[in-house]
Chains A and B, each alone.
Chain A
């Protein structure tokens, strides 16, 4: 996906794909399927459209609980979050 495409998607989905960080961790020892990816940040996000979802975070330092985030990419079915553009 091009950078332009990513930005277009995040603008289009900012309402339904946004949420608030409920909890987070940085996985440093991963299973076989993800061993080359570690360390990586996992977020549990309370989504604005209801429900809670586990996803990845685009960044090395996890955002604090309560931080607004939005989906910027889907890898398979796994959402990848970044800080929300709302407050920028």
Chain B
């Protein structure tokens, strides 16, 4: 990709003796939705705050649409949904969105009103009267209504009910279709799986991998529990492991299961059950550090 909406180049950030982010390099293309995953305290929010110019990097640089993060141009082209939302309790939802829109400089008012309906938010209520989920909606609507080319979203659906999560996914899909770029930090793995073309995984301040979701899917394995005589499978493509279980064997396969199924079809087996490892299991293995992603 020739130009990037977000470029992070060897970015590091330390708070005193604590190194929160170490040599992070990442790109998000125009119109791309990239998931940003990692356990608590991994450095996701620090990265987003660096991209917003709220924090100053210790080393390296971050760019939004080719300009330094935090510069006037970058700020005018970014909208943000923080994970921990703090708003003025005496303002109403509408007043808050108006304030943020005015500070941003551009608001699609028709779209904003449409978002009020989509997210079923009563904008005339004071912030202090909103539930956590409704305060989250205020931040989401404020961000989306700016139509900013770059959206930085830090766990945006925490506190939303499943219906609102679906509405959110619809909005992000629409935004990407319009060419907006999204960096989505989330623990909702199904959300990331649904929305993102790529995922970046971070742990202990270090980027451990960036991969296409499709590529991840190709690594998704299968497990076959087989009863009967399976013979020697060591030469079969994709077979990684064969272990004995109570009434047969368990065969672990990576990649397409076709070669194994061809072989098994010629063997004397009486029962076959299969299970696909979910993308979530793969993510979790990265979270707990038990796996590294293949390049």
Are A and B a genuine interacting pair, yes or no?
Answer: no
Chain B residues engaging chain A, CB cutoff 8 angstroms: none
Chain A residues engaging chain B, CB cutoff 8 angstroms: none
